[in-house]
Every structure is written in structure tokens, then in C-alpha cells.
Structure 1
Amino acid sequence: MIIAAGLSPAWQQILEVNSFEVGEVNRCQSAHWCASGKVINVGVALQHLGCPCETIFPAGGYARSLIEAELNELDVSFRDLNQENPTRICTTILDRSSGQTTELVENATPISEQEVKAFAAEYRRCAETATVAVLTGSLPEGTPVTFYRDLIAKTKCPVILDARGTELEEALSAKPFLVKPNHEELERTLGRVLSSTEELIKGMQDINRRGATWVVISQGKSALWVTSANEVYRFIPASVEAVNPIGCGDSLAAGIASAIYQGWTVPESIRWGMAAAADNLTQLLPARLSDSRVQELYKQVEMEQVV
């Protein structure tokens, strides 16, 4: 079993407009609602990839029942723990004339000490039988910055961590199996600009030396870089027509987790994750993947071992 766990789910609105004008009345050509947020996206993606997964997150307010209804419809196994504060609502605006995506992201609502403890206890219980765990998403107000570190320290299986900043820095001492900040997040974590490929690789291997076995850095349409203490890989993503980029990083994490669960090598698992991210990019709703499409896209992802 794979665990997808995080504290910042969302009820997501996706609006398509012909041309988005700031400060003007914008009439939408379509509107869609779905369960989302990084943790839910990972769980939904894993379900679509055919992997057994338990998705763990807190939820509250009227959005909780909406999220539950959709996850049940998608046949996603989940444990939503009660949260007093309402689950956040986020909006994505897709401008079809420019191809630009605008996100209106509500911060995850504060979580109490008791709710944090309940979540950690449920995670630890599920982690006892897990093969892979994915810890993902920002930490709401009220969560210790050591939260991910403390969970990883009590997890026996490989952990994929999608976090940034202080929570990533704190977690490195617990030796996560794989971390996947983007380029900007890596710079913030290291506190310096990485303006060349050489500087990027050195920065990634700094993170390896501080505890992460593997570091994955995505750069949108550009090459994706992967390092361990002694290896460097470069991946070129499949070329697809973009519909909605939301959830690509989450689909990448889910794809990697699913392949590791099946016993693949880490480089090939990342290649599969990139195919999952490419498939997500072509879909309107995040993480609604197709295993057959991902298999075709996997063949298009180029992989090269540099070191």
C-alpha cells in the first residue's frame, strides 16, 4: 500500500475564460469544481494508476462533504480527519487566448494541536504496513515546522517528500528517500541563486549531503534533473498540448511512488512519474490520469545519465 498524507486539501474551482482581463468583468466559458490540493491530487492520481493507496488529510466545513462525495465516486480510499476550521477553497483561471494560468490560492486554515496529533497518530498507524509514503503540501498555521521530520523519523518505508523552505530543511535530518522542490524552492531552501546548470546540480547535491537520498528538480517544460550523492540524470519531458498545469507536480510524485511500489529503479520510476505529469497537463481536472496514456507518454520521455 502507498500512503498519501498532507494537511492542506482544497475544494477547487476551475474557470475557463476566452481572455482574462485584470480589473474587468470576466465571463467564463466553463466552470468546474473538484476535490484537489496536493495530498488529494496524489491520492487521485494513484487510484487512476491502479495502485492501492490510503489518502489521509483533515477536512472541515461544507467542503468536507463535497470532497468526500467526489472521492467516493472516484473510488479513492481516504481517511479525512475532522477539522474544526473549514477546508480552504482555491480557484484556477485558465486564459485560453494567452495560455496563462492564474491561481487564487487560499492558505490552509489553521489546525489545532489536538488535530495535528490525531493526524500524526493515523499516519503512523497506516505507515506500519505501507510500502511507500508521500508526504506533501504546505503546513497550516499551528503545525510545528518539524512535523514532516517527525513523521519521516517514524516511517520505515521510503518517503517521498514534496515540501519547501523550513519544513524541508528540518526534514532532511530524518533522511527522506526523495525530495522534489522546484528550482525556486531549492534556491529558497539553500538561500542562494542557482543560475547555471552546474550551480543547480551542486545545490541539489548539497541537499543529498544533508540527508535526501534522491533530489528531483522540475523546471516546467525544461529538462528535469535528478541527483543522488554520486549520480546525475537529465530527463526531457514528453511534448504535449497543455490544458491545465495544476497537479503536474503531484502527478509526478504519484507516478514515482507507484513505480517504486512496483519495484522499479529510481531513474525509471522518475521517468514514469514524468509521463504521469505529462498526462495530467493534457487534462482539465487535476490528477485524473489514464494508465494507458501514461504508458504511451513514458516511451517519449528521454533519460540520460550525466554522471
Structure 2
Amino acid sequence: MKILCICLSSTLQRTITFDSLKLERVNRSKYYRLDASGKAVNSARVLEQLEPGCSTVVCPLGEKNLSAFTGAAERDKLNILYATIPGQTRECWTLLDRTAGTTTELVVGEPLLEGADELKAVAAAEIKILKIINDMLPQVDAVLLAGSRPKIWSDDLYATISGMTRDAGKIFLADYIGQDMTKTLAASVPDIIKINEEEFRATFPELADQPLQKAITEKSRQLDNIIIVTRGTESTYAADRGQFSECPSEKVTALNTTACGDSFNAGFIYEYLKNRDQSGTAAEKLAAALQKGTWCAARNAELEAPGAIR
């Protein structure tokens, strides 16, 4: 099994642990950890824990802190194929309050790249990323594209990647919303769309007045695909070409909820691919994949590292 994970908003994730965190005070942490991150990178880390060697990550990396990202990725045995861009890979901070049991994530805005030389370098990086994807597609079973698209990339880049994946006959899981999803659907429908309830309502406003279960079922029938809608600590709703399914969440004592959705993606696509050619009904296979995704999300919540199940 081989899965290509595409992350166009790579992140250096600094997870900082406090005994207690108080606003408007000086807070001293116990320690911190630094991880190669971004939604699809987190998914790849989970996939590698499920089956070493099954994933490859394609991503852009800033020149100025390149070694910090690649060093963290190497520590986790992630196979990274990257194109460099000017400046730095963005950083995010996750603040863990052990006493309150809360997770606070601070996401830094994307660096601004406006000079002619910088924009030329970004255009070259985009071409390189597309070439890497094109070269990798014959070698993989599925593509997972997740996360927001930084404004430095072409407006139709996600739709282009979706079309390339469709033309190659590979399974495509899309975890993004807004204009990128609208453009993607106009070009080619992803095999699997996974978003949360708020994102689903925003992406398909024509269904806003319908009960969520009915809306998901109707949209998956219309698109002839699988739609998964996660709902936080509530059960996950899904529909496979108009056949509705529900998977209960697993109640855990959460330590770090960052990347639970990314961990779900990894577990789902892994189990979905594993069972694709096995005996059983489509409903049974969907249920098994939802259960695996839920299990991975729960294990991730119990650990400090983003995108980890052990």
C-alpha cells in the first residue's frame, strides 16, 4: 500500500507543555517539542506508525529553516519530497495546560512573498511540486490532499492536482473547503471528501436548511462519492453514494487534540485501501474505515505529538 500525502501549508509545530497556563501572566513551560507538521504531514506520521514505508509527503519548505523541518521529519522516518521557497516554513505553537486539560493552538499567518524574484521562485517551486506528483502517481494507490492553500500558490492548483489524480486512476481524499473545493468539484469529484460540520455547511450552502444527515446523504448521492463529516466529540456522519452511515466517537482523556482530524484521515484511507479488494459490502467496508479513523483520532488525542498513535 502506498499513499501520497500532499501538504502545501507545511508547518513547524512547537508543542509547549505547562503545568498551568494563565492569561496576562508570565508562564514558564515544563518543556517543548518541535515536529514537522501540516495536515497531510501529520497524516503521514500516523500512516508510518500503521505501516512503515507506506507514505510519501510532497510539500514546499522555506529555505531559511529547511534543516529544522527535514531534521524533525527524519527523526520520525518520514519520506519527504520537497521544493524550496524563499523565506521560512511557517510556525505554529500548541499550548498544553495540564491542569485544565486544554489545547490552545496559535497559527502564524503565511509569510508574505511579494518581490519579483520571490514570486519567480514560488512559480518554479509550484512546477517542481506538480512534477513530483506526476512522477509519484504511478507508484501510489491513493492521494491525500489536506489543508488550506496559501495565497502564494495558483488559484486552480488543488483542482489541477485532483484532475491529475483522477486521470491516473488513483483514489483521492480531499480535506479542504471554500473556493478550492468549488474549483475541484467543477473539474473532477474527489472519491472522498472529509470535512467537519461547519465546513460542510459553508461549502454546500444550498443544503444549509436541511438536517445534516439528509444533506450529507443527498450530496454524496449527487456527487457519486463518499462524504465524511466529523463532529468533534459527537459521532461521525458519512454517506457512500447515498447510503448513510454513523460511527460513534471514542471517549478519551485528551492531552493534545491537535491533528485529530489528520489522524482520522490516515486511519480512514489506510483501512479503506486495505479492504477495497476484500469480500464484504460497501457499507461494511465504510464502517470499518470509519472505525479505524476514529480509533486513530482517539489515540492521537491521548498523546503530546501531533499526528501520533503510539
* TM-score relative to the length of structure 2: 0.86
1:11 alignment partner in structure 2: 12
| 1:212/1:3 CA distance change after superposition, 3 Å | farther
- The answer as to whether partners of 2:95 and 2:104 remain within 8 angstroms in 1 is yes
| Paired amino acid for 2:181 | L
Which deviates more from structure 2 when the two are superposed, residues 94-103 or residues 252-261?
Answer: 94-103
Matching of residue 277 in structure 1 with residue 297 in structure 2 = yes
Q: What is the rounded CA distance, in whole Å, between the counterparts of 1:129 and 1:148 in structure 2? A: 20
- CA deviation after TM superposition for structure 1 residue 46, in Å: 0.8
Residues 223-302 of structure 1: pairs in structure 2 closer than 5 A: 223-264=235-276, 265-290=285-310
- CA deviation after TM superposition for structure 1 residue 54, in Å: 1.0
2:68 alignment partner in structure 1: 66
* Structure 1 counterpart SS, 2:211: helix
- CA deviation after TM superposition for structure 1 residue 234, in Å: 0.8
- The answer as to whether partners of 2:103 and 2:255 remain within 8 angstroms in 1 is no
- The answer as to whether partners of 1:179 and 1:212 remain within 8 angstroms in 2 is no
- The answer as to whether partners of 1:8 and 1:39 remain within 8 angstroms in 2 is no
Matching of residue 32 in structure 1 with residue 42 in structure 2 = no
- CA deviation after TM superposition for structure 1 residue 209, in Å: 4.9
Q: Calculate percent identity across the aligned residue pairs.
A: 22
Equivalent pairs counted in the alignment come to 288
| Paired amino acid for 1:91 | W
Matching of residue 158 in structure 1 with residue 171 in structure 2 = yes
Which deviates more from structure 2 when the two are superposed, residues 95-104 or residues 268-277?
Answer: 95-104
- CA deviation after TM superposition for structure 1 residue 172, in Å: 2.0
Q: What is the rounded CA distance, in whole Å, between the counterparts of 1:91 and 1:238 in structure 2? A: 26
Matching of residue 141 in structure 1 with residue 155 in structure 2 = no
Q: Indicate which of 75, 78, 89 corresponds to 1:76.
A: 78
1:128 alignment partner in structure 2: 138
- CA deviation after TM superposition for structure 1 residue 189, in Å: 1.1
- CA deviation after TM superposition for structure 1 residue 269, in Å: 1.4
Structure 1 runs (4+) deviating above 4 angstroms are 192-195
| 1:64/1:96 CA distance change after superposition, 3 Å | same
| Paired amino acid for 1:188 | A
| 1:231/1:283 CA distance change after superposition, 3 Å | same
Matching of residue 176 in structure 1 with residue 177 in structure 2 = no
Matching of residue 167 in structure 1 with residue 180 in structure 2 = yes
- CA deviation after TM superposition for structure 1 residue 11, in Å: 0.6
Matching of residue 114 in structure 1 with residue 116 in structure 2 = no
| 1:210/1:108 CA distance change after superposition, 3 Å | farther
* TM-score relative to the length of structure 1: 0.87
* Structure 2 counterpart SS, 1:181: strand
1:208 alignment partner in structure 2: 220
- The answer as to whether partners of 1:2 and 1:261 remain within 8 angstroms in 2 is no
2:280 alignment partner in structure 1: none
Deviations 1:231-271 (A, max 9, x none): 11111122221010011111111111211232342331121
Specify every segment of 5 or more residues in structure 1 that has no aligned partner in the other structure, as ranges.
291-307
1:298 alignment partner in structure 2: none
Which deviates more from structure 2 when the two are superposed, residues 245-254 or residues 97-106?
Answer: 97-106
| 1:212/1:243 CA distance change after superposition, 3 Å | farther
* Structure 1 counterpart SS, 2:223: coil
| 1:146/1:204 CA distance change after superposition, 3 Å | farther
- CA deviation after TM superposition for structure 1 residue 279, in Å: 0.7
Deviations 1:196-237 (A, max 9, x none): xx6112332454255361111111111100012321111112
* Structure 2 counterpart SS, 1:208: helix
Q: What is the rounded CA distance, in whole Å, between the counterparts of 2:309 and 2:141 in structure 1? A: 22
Specify every segment of 5 or more residues in structure 2 that has no aligned partner in the other structure, as ranges.
114-118, 277-284
* Structure 2 counterpart SS, 1:28: coil
| Paired amino acid for 1:144 | S
| 1:31/1:147 CA distance change after superposition, 3 Å | same
| Paired amino acid for 2:130 | A
Q: What is the rounded CA distance, in whole Å, between the counterparts of 1:267 and 1:194 in structure 2? A: 26
